Structure 1
Amino acid sequence: MQISAPWGLTAYGTGTAVASPDLARVRLAAERVEPDAAAAFGATRLRVAAIREAMRAHGVPDEAVQESRLTLSSEYEGYGIERKFLGYRCEAGFTVELGDLDIVEPMLVAVTDAGANRVDEVTYTVRDAAALASRARSLAVSAALTRASELASASGVRLGAVLHVEDLDAGDPGPVMYRMEAMAAPPMPSGMQPGAVSVRASVLMGWALLRD
């Protein structure tokens, strides 16, 4: 991106702020297929109760569940005139927010043992995303200033007042994600690490020029 009517000296700078994640969001789902809708709802409700109890046993409070969803659909086998009605599939899904990353793996094993059919996604991020983005922007400004100073020195001039600052890329933290199927409560990978969360920011700045 460029300033449409250049003047003085312009410089582009980027900065990346990196932090260790301190928050995990886990998307779970439990589902059952039963001959009638009432039975499907009932069976799924029992699974959800067992899953919530497993989470409580690992110190996860009920308010850590951020959102939930419930669906019911007809289940068939085969196609065309050979299609056979199997019953109703009821699915209950919810997202759990965990502040203690050490319990993520054991909790996942516990909830799959308790009846969760799927662990759709585990996302690691940071609580204070705004602070991380702010640090990235500060680094971007510093990078632009360093580049501008080098250009000014090489050109035999000095930087004057800042006349233009444009925020080009104020991105959100990029989450680190894991996905796994939980049909048979598989063991979690040993030593799985969530990695790092990073934010990249870019700025375009302009300065007036001074001559000795």
Structure 2
Amino acid sequence: MNQYKKLAMAAAAVLVLGAAGCAGAAGQTAQTQTGTGDNQITVTGKSCVNVVPDMAKIVFAVNTEGVSAEDTQKENTEKMNQVIETLKSMNIDEKCIRTSDYTMYPQYDYGYGNSQQIIGYQVGATLTISDQKIEDVGTILTKGVKAGINSVSEISYSSSKYDEIYQEALKQAVDASNVKAEALAKASGKTLGSIKMMTEGYEDESSRYYQTNSMISGMTKDQESMVSIQPGEQAVRAEVNVTYELK
């Protein structure tokens, strides 16, 4: 199997994300905790809402090797400039393009007993491309590889509607707490009264982004087929703690 086919298979394996959504959930979940006091009951309601991500962040690099540090750095800069120009030609805003890392290491030959001999240098420049539409990611990767990209280390997915979906999840969490509180009140021979206190539970901000570390390296500009992106679903979770009066 040639290098291109191996890379294509690697890309398909790491870029097709499995759903990280609400397993078995359709709206509310019934995971609650309860506590009792003087004519009061406290319920913790939880909810999970799935959303399909529509935005992506890509982290990729241009790595070059050479005998001379100066020549290797020059070659890397030229290739990186080609990549940046390609990105701009795709109408990607400059504020979305950031150089996030730059490295240069000597390469050694350890075949001289206890001595080390420098035989070359490796230079790597990393770009982070943020706030891109999901449907454009495949094109960005394909054209970027042709321009000089030879390593992709990360793709992160997010939803531009996260805040809206989180508000929906909060409402469902309140509904879930109402259902549980009604059942517990009835089981204790009482009726459910008004809400005495309500607090929002912990919001996991990391759920704003769904990330995969793809680690695709050795890509070549001979790659012609478009990389396919399948982001799957993103789980947005909410939690509320509600204290009710018992009558």
TM-score of the alignment, normalized to the shorter chain, above 0.5? yes
2:190 and 2:36 map into 1 onto residues whose CA distance is 20
Q: Paired residue for 2:130?
A: 97
Contact 1:33–1:75 (8 Å) recurs in 2: no
Contact 1:140–1:203 (8 Å) recurs in 2: yes
Q: Paired residue for 1:41?
A: 73
User: Are residues 188 and 124 of structure 1, via their aligned partners in 2, closer, same or farther at CA, if it must alter by over 3 Å?
Assistant: farther
Output one character per residue of 1:172-192: Cα deviation in whole Å (capped at 9) or x when no partner. Answer: 225143614141345778754
State which drifts further: 195-204 or 156-165: 156-165
2:166 and 2:72 map into 1 onto residues whose CA distance is 45
**Partner amino acid for 1:151?**
L
Contact 2:34–2:43 (8 Å) recurs in 1: no
* Percent of matched pairs sharing the same residue: 22
State which drifts further: 32-41 or 193-202: 32-41
1:10 and 1:19 map into 2 onto residues whose CA distance is 30
| Shift, 1:128, TM fit | 4.1
1:5 and 1:66 map into 2 onto residues whose CA distance is 54
Contact 1:112–1:183 (8 Å) recurs in 2: no
User: Are residues 135 and 66 of structure 1, via their aligned partners in 2, closer, same or farther at CA, if it must alter by over 3 Å?
Assistant: farther
Please state whether the residue corresponding to 2:72 is helix, strand or coil.
Answer: helix
Q: Paired residue for 1:181?
A: 216
2:70 and 2:170 map into 1 onto residues whose CA distance is 54
Gaps of 5+ in 2: 1-31
Contact 1:32–1:43 (8 Å) recurs in 2: yes
Please state whether the residue corresponding to 1:99 is helix, strand or coil.
Answer: strand
Q: Does 1:75 align with 2:107?
A: yes
CA RMSD of aligned residues (A): 2.7
Q: Does 1:127 align with 2:164?
A: no
Gaps of 5+ in 1: none
2:186 and 2:98 map into 1 onto residues whose CA distance is 54
State which drifts further: 106-115 or 121-130: 121-130
**Partner amino acid for 1:99?**
Q
User: Are residues 107 and 189 of structure 1, via their aligned partners in 2, closer, same or farther at CA, if it must alter by over 3 Å?
Assistant: closer
Contact 2:67–2:121 (8 Å) recurs in 1: yes
1:48 and 1:182 map into 2 onto residues whose CA distance is 16
TM-score, normalised to structure 1, is 0.84
1:98 and 1:65 map into 2 onto residues whose CA distance is 10
| Shift, 1:133, TM fit | 2.7
Aligned pairs, how many? 210
Q: Paired residue for 1:168?
A: 201
| Shift, 1:77, TM fit | 3.8
1:136 and 1:40 map into 2 onto residues whose CA distance is 52
1:105 and 1:88 map into 2 onto residues whose CA distance is 31
1:191 and 1:199 map into 2 onto residues whose CA distance is 25
| Shift, 1:111, TM fit | 0.9
